[in-house]
Amino acid sequence: MIWLVMVLTGLINFIFRISMFSGFRNIHVPPSFHRYVSYVPISVLSAIIASSLVTHNGHEISYDVEKLIAALVAVACAYLTKSFLATLIVGLVTVWLI
């Protein structure tokens, strides 16, 4: 089931990106479909970030404490400031300081 969701999400993402160049910009989609697609970038970015923080090598889960601390500081900054730029700067500075 997860593979089906991943493949469908990838296809939908590809269709929306290629539509900008193909001339199909004025196609109207149902609001429920648009609501689903609006979560695709967030879910993809979350998966990329989570896979860089925690890895599974067969038998055990490994993680880097410094990366987890920097991620928690960045999440706290994002929650408090609601600013992408501030979150990015605070996260990078935290990694650099650690």
56 or 3: which leads in pLDDT? 3
Each residue's pLDDT tens digit, 18-71: 766 766 666 677 888 878 878 888 888 888 888 888 888 878 888 888 889 999
| pLDDT, position 94 | 93
pLDDT at 79 over 90: yes
List, as one string, the DSSP characters of the chain.
-HHHHHHHHHHHHHHHHHHHHHT-TT----HHHHHHHTTHHHHHHHHHHHHHHEEE-SS-EEE-HHHHHHHHHHHHHHHHH--HHHHHHHHHHHHHH-
62 or 80: which leads in pLDDT? 80
84 or 22: which leads in pLDDT? 84
